[in-house]
Amino acid sequence: MKVVNITYFVHSTSEYNEKKVLAGWYDTKLSELGKKQSLELRELIKDKNFDVVFCSDSKRAVETAKIAFKGKAKIIKDKRLRECNYGDFTGAPFSDLVVADSVLKYVNKPFPNGESYKDVEKRVKSFLKDLLKNYLGKNVAIVSHRTPQLALEVLLNGKTWEQAIEEDWRFKKPKIWQPGWEYRLEG
């Protein structure tokens, strides 16, 4: 059985991350720390080979991809890899969202004037379908955001949204960040 090997990278620290507010579809750029992290990521992945790099079309993901993967592989922007549209929550403190029962109510119900986590799942599912069609047997890197990664946990690892949110590394102490999460997309 042929597979698409996916290595998923979360974009480096953005200006909104440093302010601890939700960016969603707001096009915030990398902070100085984020640029440094992208250079560090470049060093960490120097011995890895990728056939293609996909990234969200958000500035913070594009900047991360361009710095970290410069000269390694073609970079393709795809709006289906955008973060969740938090609607009226955009610019709100991240702490407003992290309360578990608050987060879970947006699995099926859209954020006011935004989208639901299931909406993000649909976008990511469409993206994965295209990967299967065009990149079987390839090593693919993705640079994106929190919610698309949780969608991969649901779609490829069989988790429920509740499990994916509860097990999210961003909420663990200490945070268990890593330079790339591995996924297999089987055709």
* Beta bridge partners of residue 74, listed in sequence order: 52
Distance, in Å, from the CA atom of 111 to the CA atom of 87, rounded to the nearest integer, reads 6
The whole-number pLDDT of residue 100 equals 47
DSSP 8-state code for residue 110: P
- Three-state secondary-structure class, residue 93: strand
pLDDT, tens only, 145-166? 999 999 999 999 999 999 998 8
152 is written with which tokens?
């991969």
Domain parsing of the chain, residue ranges? 3-186
Residue 164 — φ and ψ, nearest 5°? -60, -45
Flag the least confident range among 16-25, 78-87, 132-141: 16-25
Dist CA 65 CA 28 (whole Å): 15
Round to whole Å and give the CA distance between 113 and 117.
13
Q: How far apart are CA 137 and CA 2, in angstroms?
A: 6
| Model-wide pTM > 0.85 | yes
CA 27 to chain centre: 15
Q: What would the pLDDT profile of 91-140 be if each residue is shown by its tens digit?
A: 988 877 765 457 889 999 999 999 999 999 999 999 999 999 999 999 99
Q: Choose the CATH number for 3-186 among 3.40.50.1240, 3.40.50.2030, 3.40.1260.10, 3.50.50.60.
A: 3.40.50.1240
